[in-house]
Amino acid sequence: MKCREAKEALDRRTALAFDEADALALHLRACPDCAAVARTRRLTRLLLEVVTAGDEPSPYFMARLRARIGEATDSPVAPRFGIRLLVPTLASLTLMLASGAYLLSPPPPSPVLSFLDSPAGGSEAFSFLGIPRPTHDQILASILEEEKRTP
């Protein structure tokens, strides 16, 4: 038996055939590396058995678990129903209030008029050219005339 075959035999969790067990025993006596691997695996298995011994659950564990699960599912449904109803209601109310505030807010001023009223508006351009600054009515009239001309 070769080292690779011996390690595969040690890795198996099933019982070895009689001939294979004899060949493995002969190989372990002749090969110190494989013997050390076998000894380490045997000690690890024994340690795991000692550590996990006595960790079996109580025979009444499943009965107690089922009883607790039953208690948890018997809780009242009303609080969850209230939350399920409250969240969409508040979202709808918020949307309606925001829409109302938008619709009832005054319209923004015309960008042309706000530009002309600003300090950087047409005052410098008009004074530079020597043209008197037009009034709001004149500006609106020129805009209306331009709209009439365009088809």
Q: Return d(Cα 124, Cα 120) in angstroms, integer.
A: 7
Please return the burial class of 134, using the count of CB atoms within 10 Å of its CB with bins 0-12, 13-18 and 19+. Answer: middle
pLDDT score for 115: 59
Q: Give the distance from CA 22 to its chain's centroid.
A: 58
Euclidean distance between CA atoms 81 and 79, whole angstroms: 5
Give the 3-state secondary structure of residue 16: coil
**Mean pLDDT value across the chain:** 77
Token pair for 103: 């619709």
Cβ neighbours for 92, distance < 8 A, ≥ 6 positions apart: none
Q: How far apart are CA 123 and CA 142, in angstroms?
A: 18
pLDDT tens, position by position, for the chain (151 residues)?
788 888 888 877 677 788 888 888 898 889 988 898 888 888 888 888 777 766 676 778 778 888 877 766 655 555 666 677 888 889 999 999 999 998 998 877 666 666 566 555 545 555 555 566 677 787 788 888 877 777 6
Q: pLDDT by residue (tens digit) across 93-105?
A: 999 999 999 899 8
pLDDT at 98: 93
pTM, to two decimals: 0.35
Please state, in angstroms and rounded to a whole number, the distance separating the CA atoms of residues 34 and 24.
10
User: For residue 151, what pLDDT is reported?
Assistant: 61
CB atoms within 10 A of CB 28: 20
Q: How far from 145 is each of 130, 135, 140, 149, CA to CA, in Å?
A: 24, 16, 9, 6
Q: Where are the beta strands (DSSP E) in 18-109?
A: none
